[in-house]
Chains A and B, each alone.
Chain A
């Protein structure tokens, strides 16, 4: 079954992306010419030289892509897919309070037990596998100092 919606010739995400890229290229051209410099008679190419050339190319390609984009079908955006980025935002926020490892531990249990409705046995097995990878490879082997969060710092420092 196709996930595409046949909404042809409407302004949508595809057009938005292309316009965003075009705006980016205009900003790079502007900054390249006005702030970083394009060409110096004696020194030759300046820091803005290369990005400006590429930006001009990108602007031309954006115009072409925009023309062709109206012939394409619009993509669909299943709501459940956004749960993954949402969970990462939650982990990032929780990290500042309780630290990264506890945030990850809570995420795994919540995700598997309540979202995926896995059994406690599966949840515990996957939990142990993930924590073994994180603690074994990243903490013990690579020695990564993961953030411990405000609560830990308040209690122990």
Chain B
């Protein structure tokens, strides 16, 4: 009951003209960014980070939260109407969304199914977040430096492990992100380190230009190769009336959406798993249940299962982010970086020290969910125009936003230079099949990891035993060692016939 009272207080914080405006603005932008293939929530949130500097921290993160959340809705649009997923989580929506739009000639119904099941999954995720967030924070309060170090190491390595196909590359980039973050000033002793004599590097690598470059600018370079591809929308005209679903359709969608909403939320809570994994798992779980039409042939159940799961995961991911200060994905890392820039420290004390912010943000997710559903419904007739914007026009727009956004963070061309270098690096790394999300997550979490690790070693006077003495840290350390040693042990297990060889 107490949580509901706090949530109501959160709504009181939320209901200001500025906050509601920010939620609506974030939701609209999230839908547009999500709908356009190739941009994705990570780049969207990174590009918009500078625009939030004028807001107070609560309004700023409310807008980014709404944008991230609406992105999950938008990603499905291009999957259904173009057969091209707008982002990772929408890959599974394509399996049934596109056939439902083309073979069954029901594009409007496919879109509405996606919207409603996203709403159901998201609502379940937010309700669980309302209870789980403070509970997780209470557990987090019992964590000492050793437990936090072990947990952070697991979070960092697991995202490197789960994102992309090669865990070694994920681990490599995780450590690269940590080393970049350690440049500048040593936060504990206050002495400079790894600044290579540069006064610019003394302040460390600035977060916003680094993120804009790594995910936004690198994406524009990649888009160059796709700029002559034409987006062929499967229908000429869509209307709201023609998109209505029947009572029978709703019945078919309800149970898969409810099931996947719960499943997705719990997947979203795990560090590194994220919305894409949730969508895959939601779809896979639906295969165990009865569907009126076979999955993959344009079944409503298929769309409902993956869309509810990815929205549940998007909401669930806020629980570890707020309660433990540990993001579950690259986008979560950018949100966490934003929070830190605004002087907020997500973690076990957030719900106690900044309840207005924590509950205001959770309340804003509820509002964003409702507003996004209405806007997503309302934009159905305009989707064809939005999706028809040629990539070649998007390239100069995003490039300019990258430049002015990076400049505005430091009012110096140094920001633009960092954006440029990290963008080139991001592009080269992506082409070499590295995922940049682990580096971003590590970059954000590195200071927290370092301070906890050093405190743990001061307490133990240099003994590693501190990580294995207490049960919580022991469990995390076993998990960590399993994750780190798996790439080495895997070939041996395959050779012994205990594990199947990976088939691409």
A-side interface residues toward B, CB under 8 Å? 3, 13-14, 17-18, 21, 24-25, 28, 31, 35-36, 39, 44-51, 54-55, 57-58, 61-62, 64-65, 68, 72, 75, 77-78, 80-85, 87-89, 91-92, 95, 100, 104, 107-108, 111-112, 116, 118, 122, 126, 129-130, 133-134, 137-138, 141-142, 144-147
B residues 117-176 touching A (CB-CB < 8 Å): 166, 168-169, 171-172, 175-176
Determine whether the beta carbon of B454 is less than 8 Å from that of A138: no
* B50 CB within 8 Å of chain A: yes
Determine whether the beta carbon of A54 is less than 8 Å from that of B168: no
Determine whether the beta carbon of B462 is less than 8 Å from that of A54: no
What is the CB-to-nearest-CB distance from A37 to chain B, in angstroms, rounded to a whole number? 9
Show 11 A/B contacts (Cβ-Cβ < 8 Å), sorted by A.
A3-B225, A25-B179, A35-B193, A36-B194, A49-B457, A58-B179, A75-B432, A84-B217, A100-B403, A116-B392, A144-B404
Residues from chain A with Cβ under 8 Å of B168 in the complex: 61, 64-65, 68
Q: What would 6 more interface pairs be, CB under 8 Å, given A61-B168, A130-B396?
A: A21-B176, A84-B221, A84-B224, A84-B399, A111-B395, A134-B400
Q: In the complex where A65-B168, A84-B221, A107-B396 touch, is A146 in contact with B407 (Cβ < 8 A)?
A: yes
- Across the interface, A85 reaches (CB within 8 A) one of B54, B188, B221, B462, namely B221
Residues from chain B with Cβ under 8 Å of A104 in the complex: 400, 403-404
Q: In the complex where A51-B182, A83-B224, A84-B221 touch, is A133 in contact with B403 (Cβ < 8 A)?
A: no
Q: Would you give the 0/1 interface string for B381-421, flagging 1 where the beta carbon is closer than 8 Å to chain A?
A: 00000000000110111011111110110010100110010
Determine whether the beta carbon of A44 is less than 8 Å from that of B420: no
Report Cα–Cα, A118/B171, bound state, in Å.
Answer: 44
Report Cα–Cα, A144/B413, bound state, in Å.
Answer: 12
Residue of B nearest to A108 (CB): B396
Determine whether the beta carbon of A88 is less than 8 Å from that of B403: yes
Q: In the complex where A57-B175, A62-B172, A84-B221 touch, is A144 in contact with B397 (Cβ < 8 A)?
A: no
What is the CB-to-nearest-CB distance from A44 to chain B, in angstroms, rounded to a whole number? 4
Determine whether the beta carbon of B179 is less than 8 Å from that of A54: yes
Determine whether the beta carbon of A51 is less than 8 Å from that of B431: no
What is the CB-to-nearest-CB distance from A77 to chain B, in angstroms, rounded to a whole number? 7
What is the CB-to-nearest-CB distance from B364 to chain A, in angstroms, rounded to a whole number? 21
B-side interface residues toward A, CB under 8 Å? 50-51, 53-54, 166, 168-169, 171-172, 175-176, 178-179, 182, 186, 188-189, 191, 193-194, 217, 220-222, 224-225, 227, 392-393, 395-397, 399-405, 407-408, 411, 413, 416-417, 420, 423-424, 427-429, 431-434, 449-450, 453-454, 457-458, 461-462, 487-488
Report Cα–Cα, A111/B399, bound state, in Å.
Answer: 11
Residue of A nearest to B461 (CB): A44
Report Cα–Cα, A89/B420, bound state, in Å.
Answer: 8
Determine whether the beta carbon of A64 is less than 8 Å from that of B408: no
Residue of B nearest to A46 (CB): B189
Determine whether the beta carbon of A126 is less than 8 Å from that of B393: yes
Determine whether the beta carbon of A50 is less than 8 Å from that of B225: no
Report Cα–Cα, A47/B172, bound state, in Å.
Answer: 22
What is the CB-to-nearest-CB distance from B235 to chain A, in angstroms, rounded to a whole number? 24
Residues from chain A with Cβ under 8 Å of B220 in the complex: 84
Q: In the complex where A126-B396, A145-B411, A147-B413 touch, is A47 in contact with B193 (Cβ < 8 A)?
A: yes
Q: In the complex where A28-B194, A44-B454, A55-B179 touch, is A14 in contact with B432 (Cβ < 8 A)?
A: yes
Determine whether the beta carbon of A92 is less than 8 Å from that of B413: yes
What is the CB-to-nearest-CB distance from A46 to chain B, in angstroms, rounded to a whole number? 8
Residues from chain A with Cβ under 8 Å of B178 in the complex: 51, 54
Determine whether the beta carbon of B172 is less than 8 Å from that of A144: no
Residues from chain A with Cβ under 8 Å of B403 in the complex: 88, 91, 100, 104
Residues from chain A with Cβ under 8 Å of B397 in the complex: 126, 129-130, 133
Residues from chain B with Cβ under 8 Å of A130 in the complex: 396-397, 400
Residue of A nearest to B417 (CB): A92
Report Cα–Cα, A68/B397, bound state, in Å.
Answer: 39
Residue of A nearest to B175 (CB): A58
What is the CB-to-nearest-CB distance from B122 to chain A, in angstroms, rounded to a whole number? 28
